[in-house]
Amino acid sequence: MNRLPKHIAIIMDGNGRWANLQGKSRVKGHQQGAQKVRDVVEEATRQGIEYLTLYAFSSDNWSRPKDEVNILMKLLVTSLKKEFNRLINNNIRLQSIGDMSGLPTPVKQELKYVIKKTKNNTGMVLTLALNYGAKEELTQAIKAIAFKVKNSIISPEKVDQSTIIEHLYSQNLPAVDLLIRTSGEERISNFLLWHIAYAELYFTDTLWPDFNKEDLQKAIVDYAKRERRFGKTSQQLTN
């Protein structure tokens, strides 16, 4: 049996379909989704998860209707404000990954504020992926390494996996142990490609606004039953 996953990453999907099924606007779906973020963050902390990473806004989400993008950005600011005390009370450290320069100023400001105020917290690390794309992340890392090689700061022979990790937005994140995606879609959508190399994948039909503490517990129990071989044989693991 595996122990608790150290790092859980979640692709929160299905807000729009949830709203559709309820005959409500997509806004309501995102609002209900934000509510679930709170529940899941609290449950993850309670379970002793060390790292929780949430795909909150992808670098491709800008192509959604302008109104929806604006609403998502506003929701981020209000959620950060509203949840601030809860993060402090739960000793959670907030951080973000993605291209922050592309975010609207109020989001950047609020994010910076909460990151600063929670930076000495010693409990779970909650990472929001915002304006994030894994291919973009890898591209900027490779570009930065190429410049260092060109300027003789790094020698090409010395480039190894740790060099790449050091140049990722998510350099302080450990490998993902469990990747959850809600809403029945079974794809990765440009999320944390480097870190999910050996992640266990868990797909559920539950739409994100319906995903609750019990669903998270179920995913953790499912993970615990899996055998992670990391390229080895089953027999090697038992020896």
Binding residues for ligand FPP (CB under 6 A): 12-17, 30, 33-34, 37, 54, 56, 61, 75-76, 79, 128, 208
Q: Which is nearer to ligand FPP, 52 or 145 (CB)?
A: 52
Smallest gap from Cβ 204 to ligand FPP, in A, equals 14
Rounded to 5°, the CA angle 196-201-202 comes to 145
Tracing tokens 């949430």 back to the chain, one arrives at: 54
Q: What is the dihedral of CA 205, 207, 208, 209, to 10 degrees?
A: -150
Beta carbon of residue 234, minimum distance to ligand FPP (angstroms, whole number): 37
- Catalytic residue chosen out of the listed positions 2, 61, 121, 190: 61
Nearer to ligand FPP, 54 or 97 (CB): 54
Structure tokens at 115: 């990151």
Residue whose C-beta lies closest to ligand FPP: 16
The identity of residue 37, as a single letter, is V
Between 61 and 190, CB nearer to ligand FPP: 61
User: Are 58 and 72 spatial neighbours (Cβ–Cβ below 8 Å)?
Assistant: no
Does residue 61 carry a catalytic annotation? yes
Residue 10, classed as helix, strand or coil, is: strand
Tell the smallest beta-carbon distance from residue 139 to ligand FPP (Å): 22
Q: Which of residues 75 and 175 has its CB atom nearest to ligand FPP in the complex?
A: 75
Task: Tell me if 73 sits within 8 A of 108, measured CB to CB.
Answer: no
Report, as residue numbers or ranges, the catalytic residues: 13, 61
